[in-house]
């Protein structure tokens, strides 16, 4: 099938097999390997990207379903020289160890903060329920999200 979509601001038109998942399109066809496949079954959240601004698990969406949408991946939110506030907070708060879950965590966290005018620890823990980390534990991840939130315009209580 033909899929036309925008990824990180760039327009693409691709011919992919009908059963191609969005995450496969990103990783194999576009070489954007920052989006990870941790479980393939929607449980771990490592593949989280933004579709028209909302976080989705890219392993659970067919590439064809993303026709005409705007996708943003971890590569599209900031660069080493100009980090997104959430990326900077993850670094500052030591919110990662092996880094495998990190892209999905950051993409989910950005969506969570954008849609939460008021955040507290419980809300962050609830909001990141769909993202699993196997090394750091969640303490520093929650701290990072609460650190980035005010910089993104959300109130933290």
Which residues are at the interface with another protein (CB under 8 A)? 27-28, 31-37, 73-75, 78-80, 83, 87, 90-92, 94, 96, 98-100, 102-103, 106
Non-local (6+) Cβ contacts of 79 within 8 A are none
Smallest distance from another protein to CB 88, Å = 8
R_g of the chain, CA atoms, integer Å: 15
Nearer to another protein, 39 or 120 (CB): 39
> Length of the chain in residues, anyone?
157
Residue 33 or 120 having the CB closest to another protein: 33
In the complex, what is the shortest distance from the CB of residue 117 to another protein, in angstroms, rounded to a whole number? 25
CA 57, 62, 64: angle at the middle one, nearest 5?
Answer: 130
3-state SS assignment for residue 51: strand
**Min separation Cβ 28 and another protein, Å:** 7
Query: Considering the complex, what minimum distance in angstroms separates the CB of residue 102 from another protein?
Result: 5
Closer residue to another protein (CB): 9 or 80: 80
| Cβ contacts of 154 within 8 Å, gap of 6 or more | 113, 114, 116, 117, 118, 119
């Amino acid at each position: 099938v033909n899929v036309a979509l925008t990824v990180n601001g760039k327009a693409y038109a691709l011919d992919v097999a009908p059963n191609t998942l969005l995450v496969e399109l990103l990783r194999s066809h576009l070489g954007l390997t920052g989006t990870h496949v941790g479980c393939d079954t929607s449980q771990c959240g490592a593949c989280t990207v933004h579709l028209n601004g909302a976080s989705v698990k890219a392993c659970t969406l067919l590439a064809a379903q993303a026709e005409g949408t705007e996708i943003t991946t971890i590569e599209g939110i900031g660069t080493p020289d100009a980090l997104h506030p959430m990326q900077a907070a993850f670094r500052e708060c030591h919110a990662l160890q092996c880094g495998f879950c990190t892209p999905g965590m950051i993409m989910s966290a950005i969506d969570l903060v954008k849609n939460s005018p008021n955040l507290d620890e419980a809300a962050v823990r609830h909001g990141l329920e769909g993202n699993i980390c196997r090394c750091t534990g969640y303490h520093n991840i929650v701290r990072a999200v609460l650190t980035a939130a005010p910089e993104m315009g959300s109130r933290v209580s």
